[in-house]
C-alpha cells in the first residue's frame, strides 16, 4: 500500500490551516503505511522564514543549535537550527544550495533530505500521526503540503527510505507502488553523474525528475518522460516551488482521487482523506486517468 495526501491552497485565508488540514488527511491514511512517514510543507514562516533558505537533514550528530553556530561562523551569516528528531531544520540568509553544501561538509554523516527557499521536509520511522504531532505539523501554515505513509516494498524501513524524496530545490516526490526497472535507470543515472542516498526505488523517480528539471525541462514534460521510462506500478504526487502534479502508470492499480474547488486542489490515495476538507461537498472530484499528467500552478 502506502498512503499519499497533498493539498495545494489557492485561497490565502486558508494558509494558517494548512498543517491542521494535512494532519487530518494524513491520519486517514495511517493504515495504508504504518512503517514510517514524511511530510513536506511549503511556506511555513517559522520553519522556512521569508528571505531565508531552509535545509532539512536526518540523523544530525550534534544538536541543531551547535550545528547552526558552526554554520553561522563558516558562512558569515546567522543560521538558525530547530531539532525535530530525527529531522533537523536549518535556515539562514544564504543560497539553499550553499547552505546544503556547508551542512554536508560540516556533518558528512547526516543526510540532507530537502532544501529550498520555501520548503521544509520532515521524516521519521513510526506511526505517521504520532510523528506528525511530534513534529508540530497540526500548527504548520503554508500554501502547499504533501504527506506520505509508507509500507515499504523496495528498501528497508528507515527514515531515509521514507517519503517524500526531495532531491532538487523546493522539489518533492511521493509514491505509492513500485518501479520494476528502477535498477537499470539508476545505473544509467549514475553513469550520468547522479549520486543516490538510498536503495529506494522512489528515489530513482525523484532523481530522474530532478535531472530533467535541472536541464530546463518543464514539470509536465518531465513526468511524461517518466511515464515513457519507468515500468511498474505508480501513483506519484510531485510538487515544486510553484506546482502540484499527479501522474499514474498505464494500469493505474494504485488508487488516487483528486478534488478541486476554487479554494484548493487536493489529492489522496482514498476519498476518506479528503472527506473533511472545507467545501468538499461542492468540489469537482475525479480519479486521475492512466498516464495523464495533471499539473496545477500557483
Ligand atoms: N507501498 C508502497 O507504495 C511503497 C513505495 C516504494 N516502493 C517504497 O518502498 O518506498
pLDDT digits (tens, 9 = 90+) for 26-82: 999 999 999 999 999 999 999 999 999 999 999 999 999 999 999 999 999 999 999
Q: Are 116 and 241 in contact (CB under 8 A)?
A: yes
Q: Residue with C-alpha cell 499514474?
A: 248
The interface predicted TM-score (ipTM) is 0.98
In a 3-state reduction of DSSP, which class is residue 155? coil
CB atoms within 10 A of CB 151: 15
Of 136, 133, 123, 74, whose CA–CA distance to 99 is shortest? 74
Counting from 1 in the atom list of ligand 1, the atom nearest the Cα of 155 is 9
Would you call 172 a catalytic residue per the annotation?
Answer: no
Q: From ligand 1's centre to the CA of 155, what distance in Å?
A: 8
Counting from 1 in the atom list of ligand 1, the atom nearest the Cα of 1 is 1
In a 3-state reduction of DSSP, which class is residue 42? strand
Residue 43 φ/ψ region, left for φ over 0, alpha for ψ in the -120 to 50 degree band, beta for the rest? left
pLDDT of residue 1: 84
pLDDT of residue 270: 98
Q: Which protein residue's CA is at the shortest distance from atom 10 of ligand 1?
A: 152
DSSP 8-state secondary structure symbol assigned to residue 12: G
Counting from 1 in the atom list of ligand 1, the atom nearest the Cα of 201 is 7
DSSP 8-state secondary structure symbol assigned to residue 7: E
Of 106, 102, 117, 121, whose CA–CA distance to 57 is shortest? 121
Mean pLDDT across the chain: 97
Q: From ligand 1's centre to the CA of 78, what distance in Å?
A: 38
The whole-number average pLDDT for the span 69-98 is 97
Q: From ligand 1's centre to the CA of 178, what distance in Å?
A: 6
pLDDT of residue 148: 98
Q: Which residues pair with 241 in a beta bridge?
A: none
Ligand 1 pocket test target in 123, 162, 176 with most atoms within 8 Å of CB: 176
The whole-number average pLDDT for the span 186-196 is 97
Q: In sequence order, which residues have a C-beta less than 8 Å from that of residue 293 and are 6 or more positions away? A: 220, 223, 224, 227, 245, 246, 247
Q: Which protein residue's CA is at the shortest distance from atom 3 of ligand 1?
A: 176
In a 3-state reduction of DSSP, which class is residue 103? helix
Q: Measured at the alpha carbon of residue 17, what is the angle toward residues 273 and 239, in degrees to the nearest 5?
A: 65
Q: Are 92 and 107 in contact (CB under 8 A)?
A: no
Amino acid at each position: 500500500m502506502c498512503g499519499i495526501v497533498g493539498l495545494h491552497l489557492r485561497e490565502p485565508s486558508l494558509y494558517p490551516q494548512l498543517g491542521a488540514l494535512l494532519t487530518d488527511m494524513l491520519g486517514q491514511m495511517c493504515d495504508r503505511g504504518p512503517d514510517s512517514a514524511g511530510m513536506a510543507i511549503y511556506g511555513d514562516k517559522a520553519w522556512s522564514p521569508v528571505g531565508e533558505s531552509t535545509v532539512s537533514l536526518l540523523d544530525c550528530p550534534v544538536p541543531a543549535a551547535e550545528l547552526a553556530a558552526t554554520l553561522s561562523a563558516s558562512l558569515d551569516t546567522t543560521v538558525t537550527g530547530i531539532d525535530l528528531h530525527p529531522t533537523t531544520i536549518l535556515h539562514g540568509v544564504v543560497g539553499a544550495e550553499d547552505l546544503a553544501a556547508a551542512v554536508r561538509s560540516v556533518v558528512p554523516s547526516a543526510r540532507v533530505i530537502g532544501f529550498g527557499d520555501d520548503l521544509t521536509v520532515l521524516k521519521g520511522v513510526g506511526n505517521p500521526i504520532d510523528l506528525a504531532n511530534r513534529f508540530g505539523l497540526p500548527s504548520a501554515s503554508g500554501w502547499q503540503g504533501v504527506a506520505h505513509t509508507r509500507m515499504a516494498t523496495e528498501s528497508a524501513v528507515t527514515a531515509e527510505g521514507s517519503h517524500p524524496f526531495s532531491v532538487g530545490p523546493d522539489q518533492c516526490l511521493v509514491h505509492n507502488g513500485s518501479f520494476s526497472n528502477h535498477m537499470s535507470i539508476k545505473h544509467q543515472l549514475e553513469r550520468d553523474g547522479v549520486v543516490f542516498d538510498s536503495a529506494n526505488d522512489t528515489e530513482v523517480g525523484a532523481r530522474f525528475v530532478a535531472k530533467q528539471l535541472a536541464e530546463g525541462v518543464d514539470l509536465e514534460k518531465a513526468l511524461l518522460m517518466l511515464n515513457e521510462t519507468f515500468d511498474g506500478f505508480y501513483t506519484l504526487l510531485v510538487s515544486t516551488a510553484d506546482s502540484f502534479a499527479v501522474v499514474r502508470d498505464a494500469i493505474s492499480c494504485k488508487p488516487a482521487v483528486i478534488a478541486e474547488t476554487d479554494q484548493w486542489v487536493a489529492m489522496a490515495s482514498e476519498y476518506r482523506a479528503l472527506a473533511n476538507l472545507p467545501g468538499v461537498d461542492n468540489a469537482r472530484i475525479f480519479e486521475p486517468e492512466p498516464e495523464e499528467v495533471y499539473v496545477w500552478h500557483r
